């Protein structure tokens, strides 16, 4: 039996209360949302928090998915299943539905949360690549107040984020801009597994020209889950398969996969190129209204 080390348990009744509890309990206290990343790590004693602050009661404040002005806003406590089921998220950014269909399995998706995924900072987390492609912004709140951090600047390394121990992620924001399309492509060994490699793309077109583009990569050692060299090369180029293949090559050259039980380096690099290309093609087709 896998038994976590002992800890004390507190239940937050509001965002303010959660932040106050984290402050009182000190740096070894951790937030628990779905617990589907944290609890497995506690069972293996890779994580040994002294105290857990349970935020599952804060759904009314933290689990909304809505449009606010020109932003899509996703609460940190929205479950994977909520995002997959959200018509408004899918309408503006089909990449969310592409990704959520292949994140874990339907039962895990009922409890794991969007914020938990991003705060876990697993180097193979799918949503990190999705938000990197969309250049989403996280709202964090600590005792000193609220700050906004681009998801591209949230992760400082494997399992490490810029969040202070007493900071809570409240929500994610993605700007809705006209002329856009987005898509996600993942290769996994079997249903419910983390990716061998995956790529997300968001494309904004002016006629047949790429006005702007975001590319996210996961599980292949891309810094901040992004491919800035490929993005820079693609901006202003014609939106053709040829340009997308060239961007895929650049993305693959600049990532840094490592060999593990999911595959060798050259295979993962090949996937980075191919999946980036396919995501760009599908994102562009969607931007043109040629694909749902």
Ligand X SMILES: Cc1cc2nc3c(=O)[nH]c(=O)nc-3n(C[C@H](O)[C@H](O)[C@H](O)COP(=O)(O)OP(=O)(O)OC[C@H]3O[C@@H](n4cnc5c(N)ncnc54)[C@H](O)[C@@H]3O)c2cc1C
Q: Which option in other proteins, ligand X, none does residue 276 bind, with CB closer than 5 to 8 A by kind?
A: none
Q: Which of 153, 102, 146, 143 is nearest to 125 (CA)?
A: 102
What residues line the site for other proteins (CB under 8 A)? 1-9, 11, 32, 35-36, 39-40, 42-43, 52, 54, 56, 81, 104-108, 110-111, 191-192
CB under 8 Å to 9, separation ≥6 — which residues? Answer: 51, 52, 54
User: Residue 192 interacts with ligand X (CB under 6 A)?
Assistant: yes
For other proteins, the closer CB: 8 or 258: 8
Closer residue to other proteins in complex, CB, 72/119: 119
**Of 170 and 205, which CB lies nearer to ligand X in the complex structure?**
170
Q: For the segment 232-291, give every residue that binds ligand X (CB under 6 A).
A: none
Nearest-approach distance from CB 51 to other proteins, in angstroms: 9
Choices 117-125, 221-229, 236-244, 274-282 (CB under 6 A): range interacting with ligand X: 117-125
Q: Does 38 bind ligand X (CB under 6 A)?
A: yes
42 in contact with ligand X (CB under 6 A): no
Q: Decide which of other proteins, ligand X, none touches 2; Cβ closer than 5 to 8 Å per partner kind.
A: other proteins
Interface with ligand X, residue 32, by CB under 6 A: yes
Q: Which does 173 bind (CB under 5 to 8 A by kind): ligand X, other proteins, none?
A: none
The token pair at 17 is 């209360």
Measured between alpha carbons, how far is residue 5 from residues 2, 9, 58, 92 in Å? 10, 12, 26, 43
Would you say 151 and 171 are in contact if contact means Cβ atoms under 8 Å apart? no
* 45 CB-side CA count, 13 A: 6
In the complex with ligand X, the residue whose CB is nearer, 47 or 176, is 47
Measured distance CA(179)–CA(205) in Å, rounded = 6
Q: Which of residues 161-190 bind ligand X (CB under 6 A)?
A: 163, 168-169
Instruction: Rank residues 120 and 243 by Cβ distance to ligand X and give the closer one.
Output: 120
Binding site for ligand X (CB under 6 A): 30-38, 76, 80, 103-104, 108, 112-113, 115-117, 119-120, 125-127, 163, 168-169, 192-194
């Amino acid at each position: 039996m896998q038994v976590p080390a002992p800890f004390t348990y507190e239940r937050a009744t509001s965002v303010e209360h959660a932040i106050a509890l984290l402050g009182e309990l000190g740096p070894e206290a951790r937030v628990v949302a779905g617990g589907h990343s944290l609890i497995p790590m506690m069972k293996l004693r890779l994580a040994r928090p002294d105290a857990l602050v349970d935020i599952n009661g804060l759904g009314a404040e933290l689990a909304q998915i809505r449009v606010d002005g020109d932003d899509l806003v996703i609460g940190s406590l929205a479950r994977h299943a909520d995002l997959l089921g959200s018509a408004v998220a899918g309408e503006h950014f089909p990449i969310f539905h592409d990704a959520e269909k292949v994140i874990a399995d339907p039962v895990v998706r009922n409890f794991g949360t969007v914020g938990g995924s991003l705060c876990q900072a697993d180097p193979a987390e799918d949503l990190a690549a999705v938000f990197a492609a969309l250049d989403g912004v996280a709202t964090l709140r600590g005792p000193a107040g609220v700050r906004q951090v681009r998801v591209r600047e949230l992760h400082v390394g494997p399992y490490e984020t810029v969040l202070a121990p007493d900071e809570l992620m409240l929500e994610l924001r993605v700007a809705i801009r006209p002329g856009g399309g987005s898509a996600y492509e993942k290769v996994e060994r079997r249903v419910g597994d983390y990716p061998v490699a995956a790529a997300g793309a968001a494309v904004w077109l002016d006629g047949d020209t790429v006005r702007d583009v975001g590319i996210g990569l996961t599980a292949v050692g891309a810094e901040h889950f992004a491919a800035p060299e490929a993005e820079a090369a693609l901006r202003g180029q014609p939106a053709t398969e040829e340009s997308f293949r060239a961007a895929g090559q650049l993305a693959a050259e600049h990532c840094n996969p490592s060999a593990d039980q999911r595959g060798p380096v050259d295979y993962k690099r090949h996937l980075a190129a191919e999946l980036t290309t396919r995501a760009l093609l599908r994102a562009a087709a969607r931007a043109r209204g040629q694909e749902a």
